[in-house]
Structure 1
Amino acid sequence: MHIKNNKKISIIVAMLMIGSTFVGCAKDKKESATTSEPKKNEQSVKLSTKDDYTYESNDYFTSISWLEKNIEKNKNLVIIDARSEEDYKKGHIPGSINVAWQSLAQMEGKAGDKNWGTLLEKDALSKALSEIGITKDSQVLVYATKGAWGEDGRIVWCLQRAGVDARMLNGGFDLWKSENKEVSKDISKNEVSDFKVEKITNHNNITTDELKKEIKDVKLIDTREEDEYKGATNFGEARGGHLPNAINITFNKLYNEDGTIKSNEEIEKVMKENKIEKTDKIVTYCTAGIRSAHMGLALKNAGYENVRNYDASYYEWAADKNNEIVK
């Protein structure tokens, strides 16, 4: 009887120990789940590159922290708001001037005409940049918003081709406003300068004729929206579709939620998913070379050296019935 009682006691103790073990495991899992939550939040916070870019170390982007330090004391700084005039008047970064990408482009005729929307010739570009107040010593910072068309990239692309020291503001007006930085409604205008464009570089641009010759040797990236790629003619294009063998990667796929550009590692991942390597010859295009200019600079910043923007873009390609279109 004494032995049986001992056995019963042993069984009860064993069951209690097993039960406490399960409770302990459940508790550990619950605590683990609780402590993992901040890690998720921490990860989401890191989906920004707002502090990664400074003027000293980058040729394509500048941080808002650099702008804050230079906005008043840097006499060579020219800040360009590339948004619409309407948005500019609602509020902008203090001291910025409103410049439309069209003011630096050949706009005679209509969309689709030969060279419509492409960069101005040297003399006309010199005049346009002088009116903005650009000098040989200017350090130009251009901004727009994430939800726009990449106009900041297009203007920087134009300025760099003209030999001007120009960069985009990483995060643009979206980040500036969300960080509660000063916003002004005062209309600014710089003094007219005597700036002369000595040379327009062509290494980051490709013409229609050049593209026809090289189309089989390049990786074509269509930076438009998917519906445009598949045939929608939302902006008066002569025909719907895309260029042969073009890969559709919308330009805003390279943005973070806060309007900053994605990290180089994330951009490389996007490109690899589309079988595009850093050693490839890359040509970007959109409707009029705006979104594609922005992506071209973002790719160069991420280490894709051989990137050219087709600034005549789909408008000109589609207007010529001899050019192949795919749907």
Structure 2
Amino acid sequence: MKRSMKLVTITVVFLLLFSLAGCSSSKQGVNSSSDSAPRLTDQAMEGYYVDARWLQENLDQVTIVDARADKEYKKGHIPGAVNISWQALSNMQPKQGEPGWGVVLSNEQLSKKLGEFGINGKKDIVVYNDPAGLGEDGRVVWMLRVAGLQNSRMLFGGWPAWQKAGGEETKSIPQIKAVSFSITNPDTSLLATTEYIKANKDKVKLLDTRSPKEFTGKTDHGERVRGHIPGAIHLHYSDALNADGTVKTVDELKDMFAQAGLKPGDEVIAYCTVGIRSGFMTVLLRMCGYENAKNYNASFSEWAGDPNNTIEK
């Protein structure tokens, strides 16, 4: 009888241990999805990027900006994120092809707009989008840095990386409290204009970040004519991305830029259709030590809008 009771006890203990092991395996299975999230391992990128794990740990300490379109934001976003599209901080009054279409707002207007979004520059800012877009996170960070907000960075891998990390999602729209903000230290070195390019065309290197078909004039994004600015080097902005939407390492980017004929000391002026893709690429160039990199914000739309400007195909 005692032996029988002992066998029963051993069996119960074994079953309990097996059950606990099963629970432990199940829990690890849940965490394995977050372990697959992209991690930021390149320290040279830390001034421009944070990863999803870091953001999860510092969620309440930063201002989060969702740079996606409003309809995507409403489907689900990071808790507390404010939806700020590139258009919200740009001059959308002119039509495409007209001077000034889509360029970053003046310092006075930009100060007011950022204040309306609750941004006063005191908190670090993390911007994210979907890498399947056109580099909108880079364009927004570029505008924030033009406004002197050097504490603005992007989310490594964007929205998909947040989802892979098991980050919380919400459809709740945060209540924005407007603040007073004034740009006191703008960084105009990030910006190039049509006039500047014409005056310095023999000193700068133009970088066309559009698709190969746009560069060769086989297609367009609404510009008056097709082609590219004479002498421009072509490097598609998406070449800077890995298959999972994360940005390549700084060493890989440096090699890519070097192969395109760009040197760190060059004054590189990137452009696209209206400074979105090129804004993203300008931020990456700066991250890689190209301290004279600029974004031609008005880009090919304004260049092609003037019939007096020469265009190549």
TM-score greater than 0.5 by the shorter chain = yes
The structural deviation recorded for 1:264 is: 1.1
Residue type of the partner of 2:143?
Answer: C
> What TM-score, normalized to structure 1?
0.80
Q: Secondary structure at the match of 2:294?
A: strand
Structure-2 change in CA distance of 1:90 and 1:140 (3 Å): same
Instruction: Write out the 4+ residue segments of structure 1 that deviate beyond 3 Å after TM superposition.
Output: none
Secondary structure of residue in 2 paired with 1:203? helix
Structure 2 equivalent of residue 62 of structure 1: 50
Distance 1:222 1:57 in 2: 23
- Other-structure match for 1:71: 59
Q: Deviation digits for residues 58-96 of structure 1, max 9, x if unmatched?
A: 332122222111103x1xx11000001111111111111
Residue 81 of structure 1 corresponds to which residue in structure 2? 66
What residue number does 1:122 align with? 107
| Alpha-carbon shift at residue 233 of structure 1 (Å) | 4.5
**Does the aligned pair in 2 maintain the 1:233–1:239 contact within 8 Å?**
no
> For residues 88-167 of structure 1, what are the structure 2 equivalents within 5 Å?
88-164=73-149, 165-167=151-153
Structure 2 counterpart of 1:228? 214
2:142 touches 2:279 (CA, 8 Å); kept in 1?
yes
Question: Are the counterparts in 2 of residues 79 and 97 from structure 1 also a CA contact under 8 Å?
Answer: yes
The residue type paired with residue 315 of structure 1 is S
Matched, 1:262 2:248: yes
Q: Percent identity of the aligned residues?
A: 38
TM-score (norm 2): 0.84
Which of 272-281 and 121-130 deviates more? 272-281
Aligned in 2, Cα 1:91/1:62: closer, same or farther, shift over 3 Å?
same
Q: Is the 8 A contact 1:50 1:260 kept in 2?
A: no
Confirm whether residue 207 of structure 1 aligns to residue 188 of structure 2.
Answer: no
Contact map agreement 2:91 2:100 (CA 8 A) in 1: yes
In structure 2, what is the Cα distance between the partners aligned to 1:84 and 1:136?
23
1:232 Cα offset (Å): 3.7
Distance 2:163 2:38 in 1: 16
Judged with a 3 Å threshold, the aligned counterparts in structure 2 of structure 1 residues 111 and 192 are, in CA distance, closer, same or farther, namely same
Distance 1:317 1:152 in 2: 24
Task: Mark the runs of 5 or more structure 1 residues left unpaired by the alignment.
Answer: 1-47
Aligned residue pairs total 276
Please list the CA deviations of residues 150-177 of structure 1 after superposition, one character each: whole Å capped at 9, or x if unmatched: 1111111111111222111111112111
For residues 113-167 of structure 1, the C-alpha deviation after alignment (integer angstroms, 9 at most, x for no partner) is 1111111112211111011100131211100111101111111111111122211
Deviates more, 1:233-242 or 1:292-301: 233-242
* Conserved? CA contact 2:52–2:165, under 8 Å: no
Tell me, in whole angstroms, the C-alpha distance in 2 between the residues paired with 1:309 and 1:147: 21
Q: 2:191 & 2:115 partners in 1: Cα distance?
A: 23
Supply the distance in 2 between the matched residues of 1:299 and 1:97 (Cα, whole angstroms). 27
Q: Quick one: distance in 1 between partners of 2:100 and 2:156? A: 30
Q: SS of 1:297's equivalent?
A: helix
In structure 2, distance between residues paired with 1:133 and 1:280: 37
Equivalent residue number for residue 41 of structure 2: 52
The one-letter code matched in structure 1 to 2:279 is A
Distance 2:278 2:101 in 1: 16
- Aligned-residue CA RMSD in angstroms? 1.7
C-alpha distance 161-319 of structure 1, shift in aligned 2 (>3 A): same
* In structure 2, C-alpha distance between the alignment counterparts of 1:57 and 1:110, rounded to whole Å: 36
Question: Which structure's CA Rg is the greater one?
Answer: 1
Distance 1:108 1:170 in 2: 32
